[in-house]
């Protein structure tokens, strides 16, 4: 008789019934596992774990109540996914990794499957349907978490790249009206754009009259890089400042010559210190040692 | 005076040119004559072209600046641009293949 009744019930109804009958047990198991996964690293406090467990069960119940079948585009489904998205973000922010969270989600799925296994009144077909439905829900959740994790990683990489860009082009005002720009590494088009943008803004804001561009840290130069350098020097001139190019190593000078790059219109000096002296000379600044 | 051009003698042989909204750089021939007349009447030695309000210097605008500076040179007047905006300098540097025929200064206080 019981078997016949469960045949007529929808998968959602079966799950709701199981949830209602065993809510205390399920909740206790989930909380215990949550504590074992998130508690040992202090990722979540016991209260938070309990709150999350209860909220999860509440949202799942709402989803099952929403219709005979789970609607993936429904508000309840979105709410459940959003809950896990927020949950995983919190874990990530607190230094947890994706493995822990995926283990937790798998565990949640297993709790329901074990419960289903224990209920002998559920037919094979219904059990299969429930299994597929749970699989779909938890797979979607895991995919969401995976995307959030990837987004987080991408953001970190972008932030690191930006930091690297900032630190690799430190424009410093070393004297009133004198800026230094040491270039380290290679100059490609996108980096030139960033460097030039920063340099021209600094010329304007600092009212700089001389810019010493030091290329000691440039390991190799090709026609594109030299073109970018000339472009930078020209833009500096258009702003009304003078550019002094320093630190051209012999191999770079040789490469420039073989590339037929004409630097005759550019003021060059061997070292950064020589470039500074030239900047001071142009600004009619005298630096002298005080008499002892 | 030509439309969109405001000229002010600022002393010491300098004349300040402030371009306005109505300036049409696509017809430089019509603009240079009145400018030169003003410069000669005021015995100017230097024309200071203020680019503060010019957001972009394209080929047409650059041709106008070149023409004006060439005309000034004939009349023994030096042309200096000031206050070129970073974005304009950046865009212009991408198109230039030789130095500008006029001098560029940071601002009016940094004229050499």
Q: Of the segments A102-106, A271-275, B94-98, which one has the largest average pLDDT value?
A: A271-275
DSSP of A143-204, one letter per residue? HHHHHHHHHHHHHHHHHHHHHHHHHHS--EEEETTEEEEEEES---HHHHHHHHHHHHHHHH
At A279 the pLDDT is 94
Q: State both tokens at B76.
A: 């023994």
Q: Which of A46-55, A257-266, B100-109 has the lowest mean pLDDT?
A: A257-266
Of residues B39 and A89, which shows the higher confidence score?
A: B39
Which among B84, B96, B99 has the least Cβ separation from residue A239? B84
- The shortest C-alpha distance from A157 to chain B (Å) reads 28
Which among B85, B92, B106 has the least Cβ separation from residue A241? B106
In chain B, what residues touch A239 (CB-CB under 8 Å)? 84, 86, 89, 104, 106
pLDDT band at A3 (very low <50, low <70, confident <90, very high): very low
Map residue A42 onto helix, strand or coil.
coil
- The shortest C-alpha distance from A223 to chain B (Å) reads 14
In chain B, what residues touch A235 (CB-CB under 8 Å)? 89-90, 92-93
At A292 the pLDDT is 58
Q: Give the distance from CA A250 to its chain's centroid.
A: 41
Which among B86, B96, B110 has the least Cβ separation from residue A204? B86
Residue A2 has pLDDT above 60, yes or no: no
At residue B78, φ and ψ (nearest 5 deg) are -85, 135
Q: How far apart, in Å, are the Cα atoms of A188 and each of A92, A183, A191, A237?
A: 35, 12, 5, 21
Asked if the C-beta of B2 comes within 8 angstroms of chain A's C-beta atoms, the answer is: no
Report the distance separating Cα A49 and Cα A93, nearest Å: 16
Residues of A with CB under 8 A from a CB of B: 196-197, 200-201, 203-204, 207-209, 231-232, 234-235, 237-241, 265
Residue A63 has pLDDT above 60, yes or no: yes
**Segment B8-61, tens digit of pLDDT:** 999 889 999 999 888 888 988 888 999 999 999 999 999 999 999 999 999 999
Contact B90 A232 (CB under 8 A): no
Which among A207, A209, A238 has the least Cβ separation from residue B89? A238
> Does residue A32 contact residue A147 with C-beta atoms inside 8 Å?
no
- The shortest C-alpha distance from B87 to chain A (Å) reads 8
Residue B69 has pLDDT above 80, yes or no: yes
> Does residue B48 contact residue B6 with C-beta atoms inside 8 Å?
no
Which among B81, B89, B100 has the least Cβ separation from residue A200? B89
User: Which chain B residue's Cα is nearest to A233?
Assistant: B93
Q: Cα torsion for A47, A50, A52, A53, to the nearest 10°?
A: 170
> What is the pLDDT averaged over residues B94-110?
89
Contact A196 B93 (CB under 8 A): yes
In chain A, what residues touch B82 (CB-CB under 8 Å)? 240
**Segment A160-179, tens digit of pLDDT:** 887 777 676 789 999 999 99
The residue among B50, B84, B105 with the most chain A CBs within 10 A of its CB, best to mutate, is B84
Which among A200, A208, A237 has the least Cβ separation from residue B104? A237
Residue A273 has pLDDT above 70, yes or no: yes
Asked if the C-beta of B111 comes within 8 angstroms of chain A's C-beta atoms, the answer is: no
At B36 the pLDDT is 93
The residue among A238, A262, A282 with the most chain B CBs within 10 A of its CB, best to mutate, is A238
pTM for the structure as a whole: 0.61
């Amino acid at each position: 008789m019981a078997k016949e009744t469960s045949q007529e019930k929808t998968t959602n109804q079966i799950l709701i019934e199981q949830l209602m009958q065993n809510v205390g047990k399920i909740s206790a198991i989930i909380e215990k596992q949550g504590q074992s996964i998130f508690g040992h690293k202090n990722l979540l406090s016991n209260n938070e774990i309990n709150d999350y467990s209860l909220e999860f069960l509440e949202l799942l119940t709402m989803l099952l109540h929403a219709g005979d079948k789970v609607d993936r585009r429904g508000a309840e489904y979105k709410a459940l996914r959003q809950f896990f998205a927020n949950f995983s973000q919190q874990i990530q922010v607190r230094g947890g990794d994706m493995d822990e969270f995926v283990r937790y989600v798998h565990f949640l799925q297993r709790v329901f499957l074990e419960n289903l296994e224990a209920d002998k009144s559920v037919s094979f077909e219904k059990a299969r349907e429930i299994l597929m439905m749970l699989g779909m829900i938890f797979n979607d959740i895991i995919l969401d978490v995976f995307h959030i994790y990837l987004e987080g990683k991408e953001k970190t990489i972008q932030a690191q790249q930006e930091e690297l860009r900032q630190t690799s082009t430190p424009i410093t005002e070393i004297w009133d009206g004198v800026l230094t720009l040491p270039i380290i590494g290679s100059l490609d088009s996108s980096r030139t754009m960033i460097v030039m943008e920063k340099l021209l803004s600094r010329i304007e804001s600092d009212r700089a009259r001389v810019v010493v561009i030091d290329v000691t840290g440039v390991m190799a130069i090709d026609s594109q890089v030299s073109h970018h350098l000339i472009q930078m020097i020209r833009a500096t001139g258009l702003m009304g400042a003078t550019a002094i190019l320093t630190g051209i190593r012999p191999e770079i000078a040789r490469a420039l010559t073989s590339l037929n790059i004409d630097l005759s219109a550019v003021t060059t000096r061997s070292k950064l210190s020589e470039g500074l002296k030239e900047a001071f000379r142009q600004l009619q600044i005298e630096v002298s040692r005080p008499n002892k | 005076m030509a439309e969109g051009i405001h000229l002010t003698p600022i002393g010491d042989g300098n004349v300040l040119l402030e371009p306005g909204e109505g300036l049409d750089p696509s017809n430089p021939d019509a603009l240079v004559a009145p400018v030169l007349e003003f410069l000669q009447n005021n015995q100017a030695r230097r024309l200071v072209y203020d680019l503060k309000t010019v957001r972009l210097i394209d080929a047409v605008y650059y041709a106008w600046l070149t023409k004006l500076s060439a005309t000034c040179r004939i009349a023994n007047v030096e042309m200096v641009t000031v206050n070129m905006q970073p974005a304009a300098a950046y865009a212009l540097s991408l198109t230039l293949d030789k130095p500008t025929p006029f001098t560029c200064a940071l601002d009016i206080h940094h004229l050499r």
